[in-house]
């Protein structure tokens, strides 16, 4: 059981396989900010936001997903990093987050089929299988199956963005292979129906992830951190499951991976946004911890778990051994830090619980949309130098949609000029 002394684990350093040292075991997990400027660069608002998180006491800050391809974005105000983007804004972003000693890692991503048609009507995916979301499928672009040339280009794009992140002063990158984005689509037999070397067996479905890891490692320094975000499952019939996740981690054991983060879900099944309010407190918090413990037994690298943690006791329990199983190496905290960016510092002095608003609408997809909109409202407030405050779910969604309409037009114009 949890003992107060276990909290000291939270604030002990972690040495990664590359030799990089993380000051403590708490990470600010990735949350999509949608706060880039009109040129899809991290401007002053992003710098203020990460400076605030960096001062909050987390040992590692993971950015929201940074797009490796300019024509494939998860949101119209997302950050894009390729060779045509200036590096100075990224240098300023890294300095802001690292100012108080935190390590700053960039999450790098390609959305694949999870692209909104209002942003770009074209999308690529392992197979031409569209997003199926009750009442909202038409919002997403219908993807075409990727060619061999497409696959090689995506591998190169991930490697290029990782190299640029290092040049900008980031301490590492996390390759996003979860939440139904492109690499997750390759891993899942539900969305990968290919019959070539990139589909079929799990080894084939994981091939693009392995090739990206090797391409990234070939372009960055030995002590630059390289991590992977992986689903425990995508919680869909015929999809990526727990046995698949264990098998992928075994494949990753042979690669130079510093950290694997365990999460779960996708746009179609948004498990990453939590369990129902009527579930027990333990079930609502750290809802991927039990699976992560199983992964620890198979993994050669440190394992991090993210999902619903908002109490110091829950975080410490995740790190501690339980019933003969080892604990995880790090805990990732997302939404709780949107509402209380100073939470890690507060935990040094004792227990503190953050109240994260729960949206209980009948349609899970809409509830997930509202949850994300409410969290993004807090991020925008902090980016403007204000403190978080409770917001109305419907108001947050409406405000988000208005911003999205404006930024979609801006993004399409920007993309047209690049072309």
275: containing domain: 4-356
User: Would you state the pLDDT for residue 2?
Assistant: 44
- In angstroms, what CA-CA distances link 294 with 3, 199, 288, 299? 22, 26, 10, 9
Q: Is 196 part of any domain?
A: yes
Residue length, the chain?
Answer: 419
Instruction: Determine phi and psi for 231, rounding to 5 degrees.
Output: -70, 140
Q: Is residue 400 part of a domain?
A: no
Residue 251 CA to residue 234 CA, distance in Å, equals 19
Residue 61: Cβ-neighbour burial (10 angstroms; 0-12, 13-18, 19+): buried
Residue keyed to tokens 């880039």: 36
Of 156, 160, 205, 371, the residue nearest 277 (C-alpha): 371
Angle at 354 between CA 349 and CA 355, to 5 degrees: 155
CATH number at residue 166: 3.20.20.70
Strand partners for 22:
14
Q: Output phi, psi for 319, to 5 deg.
A: -80, -25
In a domain, 391, yes or no: no
* Structural domain contains residue 321: yes
Residue matched to tokens 């997809």: 365
Q: How far apart are the first and last CA of the chain?
A: 58
| pLDDT band at residue 381 using 50, 70 and 90 as cut-offs | very high
pTM above 0.95, yes or no: no
**In the predicted structure, residue 353 carries a pLDDT above the cut 70:** yes
Q: Supply 290's token pair.
A: 């039990």
Higher pLDDT, 126 or 362: 126
Is 409 domain-assigned?
no
Under 8 Å between Cβ of 398 and 55: no
What is the rounded radius of gyration, in angstroms, for the C-alpha atoms of the chain?
Answer: 20
What is residue 236's predicted lDDT score, i.e. its pLDDT?
64
Read off the pLDDT of residues 4-63 as tens digits, 9 standing for 90 and up. Answer: 455 688 999 999 999 999 999 999 999 999 999 999 999 999 999 999 999 999 999 999
| Highest-confidence segment of 127-141, 245-259, 300-314 | 245-259
DSSP characters over 41-55: ---HHHHHHHHHHHH
Domain count, the chain: 1
Inter-CA distances, 413 with 110, 256, 408, Å: 20, 40, 9
Q: How confident is the model at residue 253 (pLDDT cuts 50, 70, 90)?
A: very high
pLDDT at 138: 85
* Under 8 Å between Cβ of 166 and 226: no
pLDDT at 271 over 90: no
Domain-embedded: residue 394: no
The upper half-sphere exposure of residue 263, i.e. CA atoms within 13 Å in the direction of its Cβ, equals 29
pLDDT digits (tens, 9 = 90+) for 169-223: 999 999 999 989 999 999 999 999 999 999 999 999 999 999 999 999 999 999 9
Is residue 56 in some structural domain?
Answer: yes
Which DSSP helix (H) or strand (E) runs through 352?
Answer: none
Asked whether residue 419 is domain-assigned, the answer is: no
In this structure, what token pair is assigned to residue 306? 């993210």
């Amino acid at each position: 059981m949890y003992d107060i002394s276990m909290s000291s684990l939270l604030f002990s350093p972690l040495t990664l396989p590359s030799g990089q040292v993380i000051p403590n075991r708490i990470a600010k997990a990735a949350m999509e900010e949608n706060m880039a400027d009109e040129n899809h660069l991290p401007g002053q608002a992003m710098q203020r936001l990460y400076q605030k998180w960096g001062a909050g006491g987390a040992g590692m800050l993971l950015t929201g997903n940074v797009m490796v391809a300019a024509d494939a974005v998860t949101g119209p105000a997302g950050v894009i990093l390729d060779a045509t983007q200036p590096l100075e804004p990224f240098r300023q972003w890294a300095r802001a987050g690292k100012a108080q000693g935190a390590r700053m890692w960039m999450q790098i991503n390609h959305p694949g089929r999870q692209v909104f048609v209002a942003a770009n009507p074209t999308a690529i995916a392992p197979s031409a299988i569209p997003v199926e979301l009750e009442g909202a499928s038409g919002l997403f672009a219908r993807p075409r199956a990727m060619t061999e040339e497409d696959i090689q280009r995506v591998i190169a794009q991930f490697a290029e963005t990782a190299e640029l992140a290092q040049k900008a002063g980031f301490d590492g990158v996390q390759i996003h292979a979860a939440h139904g984005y492109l690499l997750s689509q390759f891993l899942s037999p539900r969305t990968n129906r290919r019959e070539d070397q990139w589909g079929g067996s799990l080894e084939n479905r994981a091939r693009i992830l392995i090739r990206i890891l090797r391409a990234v490692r070939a372009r960055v320094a030995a002590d630059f951190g390289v991590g992977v975000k992986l689903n425990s499952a995508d919680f869909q019939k015929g999809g990526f499951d727990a046995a698949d996740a264990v098998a992928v981690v075994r494949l990753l054991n042979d690669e130079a991976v510093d950290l694997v983060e365990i999460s779960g879900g996708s746009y179609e099944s948004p498990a990453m946004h939590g369990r129902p309010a009527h579930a027990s407190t333990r079930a609502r918090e750290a809802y991927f911890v039990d699976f992560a413990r199983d992964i620890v037994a198979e993994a050669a690298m440190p394992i991090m778990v993210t999902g619903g943690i908002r109490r110091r006791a829950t975080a410490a329990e995740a790190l501690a051994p339980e019933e003969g199983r080892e604990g995880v190496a790090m805990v990732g905290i997302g939404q709780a830090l949107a509402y209380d960016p100073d939470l890690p510092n507060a935990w040094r002095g004792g227990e503190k619980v953050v109240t994260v608003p729960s949206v209980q609408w009948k349609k899970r997809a809409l509830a997930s949309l509202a949850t994300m909109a409410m969290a993004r409202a807090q991020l925008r407030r902090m980016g403007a130098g204000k403190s978080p405050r409770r917001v109305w779910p419907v108001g947050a969604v409406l405000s988000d949609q208005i911003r999205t309409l404006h930024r979609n037009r801006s993004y399409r114009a920007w993309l047209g000029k690049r072309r």
